Amino acid sequence: MSATQDIKPADTVGIGREASEKQSRKEAARSDALGFDPSAPLLEVEDLHVEFRTREGVAHAINGASFSLSEGETLGILGESGSGKSVTAQAIMGILDSPPAFVTGGQVRLRGVDLLTLPEESRRLVRADRVAMVFQDALSSLNPVFTVGHQLAEPFRIHRGYSKQEARKEAASLLDLVGIPAASGRVHDYPHQFSGGMRQRVMIAMALALDPDVLIADEPTTALDVTVQAQIMKLLADLQAERNMGLILITHDMGVVADVADKICVMYAGRIVERADVHSTYGNPAHPYTKALLESIPRVDLKGQQLATIEGLPPNLTRLPDGCSFEPRCSWARERCRVDDPPLYDVGAGRQSACHYYEEVLGS
């Protein structure tokens, strides 16, 4: 199949017709020649392994994570701090620093192409065109010395070959798209001149510039207050639906994903311990860790009171236990759990749980 079949009309990028004609005149850096198969699944992460080689030892950060994402679908990746959510995202993006990080196994297939085998130059193109990411901390992800308009215009100039003027126009319409008031005036402002919520909108605009097929949002609202959080989540959900993107939403807060995710993966110690559609999980978790996470959702009616937290700490990733890594913190744990690491069992209705006693958990 010809790779050019997969080129999208520029209009779907939110780029005007006029600009799209100019685009055809000037060759620009695109990822189309990398052999993506439009009929292959959008994103498949299979048996991913990542380790950090440090002076303290080898930290086994990701230990065989598998999941998939279709167009128009939202996957929530959940887990406490340190469970491997960001490392998973960075592995998909190809932005892990190596050393100390090494991908030691698995595949990250985008439309059938294993991104992990691509040279850096190609990965850079994929990052621009197909897989984009929104980070938690917008201020440190934006360059303080350039105007927001300049930074938003850059991808259009580099990857689409637009003139400076055309690119500026796109920048303004992107700001407008993400709901920044008086967008055409604000392109001249610097990142610090935006509020936290508006900055996060700028980040989202930047991620969407080249109309990615997959958007990864890593704790996109964690630094924001509750009202703004809700607005940003709504913006992400709206844009995702409009563009039929695959969205990976990473969070440690199960409350955040309940409304927007179609399915979730719960991570613990670099493994996926539960995989399910969102509604069945919330109603009836199949893994003790998911249950504990659900019980730690901050509740409005308990405002001011101590939040429920999960007792104990995650395992040291340089010395993972032989058995289930959640065993020391688990109230269902038996002798077997100490020695026998549970696989991801099928627990019915397309759900999986890595707990030997999932039946008891489901019934509890």
Give which of ligand ADP, Mg ion, none residue 227 binds (C-beta under 5 to 8 Å, depending on kind): none
Please name every residue paired with 57 in a beta bridge, in sequence order, or none if there are none: 54
Least distance in angstroms from the C-beta of 218 to Mg ion: 6
Decide: helix, strand or coil at residue 39. coil
Q: How many angstroms separate the CA atoms of 363 and 353, rounded?
A: 14
Q: How many angstroms separate the CA atoms of 249 and 195, rounded?
A: 22
Least distance in angstroms from the C-beta of 288 to ligand ADP: 18
Give which of ligand ADP, Mg ion, none residue 35 binds (C-beta under 5 to 8 Å, depending on kind): none
Q: What angle do CA 232, 238, 243 make, to 5 degrees?
A: 125
Least distance in angstroms from the C-beta of 274 to ligand ADP: 15
Give which of ligand ADP, Mg ion, none residue 147 binds (C-beta under 5 to 8 Å, depending on kind): none
Question: Of the two residues 83 and 290, which places its CB atom closer to ligand ADP in the complex?
Answer: 83
Give which of Mg ion, ligand ADP, none residue 84 binds (C-beta under 5 to 8 Å, depending on kind): ligand ADP
Q: How many angstroms separate the CA atoms of 354 and 227, rounded?
A: 35
List residues binding Mg ion (CB under 5 A): 85-86
Least distance in angstroms from the C-beta of 150 to Mg ion: 28
Token pair in block for residue 29: 């850096």
Question: Of the two residues 85 and 160, which places its CB atom closer to Mg ion in the complex?
Answer: 85
Give which of ligand ADP, Mg ion, none residue 54 binds (C-beta under 5 to 8 Å, depending on kind): ligand ADP
Distances in Å between the alpha carbon of 333 and those of 135, 308, 309, 339?
Answer: 36, 20, 19, 11
Question: Of the two residues 85 and 351, which places its CB atom closer to ligand ADP in the complex?
Answer: 85
Least distance in angstroms from the C-beta of 285 to ligand ADP: 19
Question: Of the two residues 158 and 223, which places its CB atom closer to ligand ADP in the complex?
Answer: 223
| Cβ partners under 8 Å of residue 110, min gap 6 | 36, 42, 43, 126, 130, 131, 213, 214
Question: Of the two residues 74 and 90, which places its CB atom closer to Mg ion in the complex?
Answer: 90
CB 314 within 8 A of CB 237: no
List residues binding ligand ADP (CB under 6 A): 52, 54, 59, 61, 79, 81-87, 100, 317
| Cβ partners under 8 Å of residue 262, min gap 6 | 73, 74, 75, 277, 278
Least distance in angstroms from the C-beta of 81 to ligand ADP: 4
Give which of ligand ADP, Mg ion, none residue 153 binds (C-beta under 5 to 8 Å, depending on kind): none
Q: How many angstroms separate the CA atoms of 78 and 85, rounded?
A: 7
Question: Of the two residues 24 and 54, which places its CB atom closer to ligand ADP in the complex?
Answer: 54
Least distance in angstroms from the C-beta of 196 to Mg ion: 18
Strands 74-78 and 246-251: parallel
Question: Of the two residues 220 and 288, which places its CB atom closer to Mg ion in the complex?
Answer: 220
Give which of ligand ADP, Mg ion, none residue 325 binds (C-beta under 5 to 8 Å, depending on kind): none
- Which residue of the chain is nearest Mg ion when measured via CB? 86
Least distance in angstroms from the C-beta of 131 to ligand ADP: 17
Give which of ligand ADP, Mg ion, none residue 52 binds (C-beta under 5 to 8 Å, depending on kind): ligand ADP
Q: How many angstroms separate the CA atoms of 110 and 43, rounded?
A: 5
Question: Of the two residues 81 and 306, which places its CB atom closer to ligand ADP in the complex?
Answer: 81
Q: Give which of 324, 218, 318 is closest to 271, Cα–Cα.
A: 324
Question: Of the two residues 52 and 67, which places its CB atom closer to ligand ADP in the complex?
Answer: 52
Distances in Å between the alpha carbon of 16 and those of 57, 234, 357?
Answer: 53, 25, 56
Least distance in angstroms from the C-beta of 279 to Mg ion: 25
CB 39 within 8 A of CB 10: no
Give which of Mg ion, ligand ADP, none residue 317 binds (C-beta under 5 to 8 Å, depending on kind): ligand ADP
Count CB neighbours of 141 within 10 A.
18
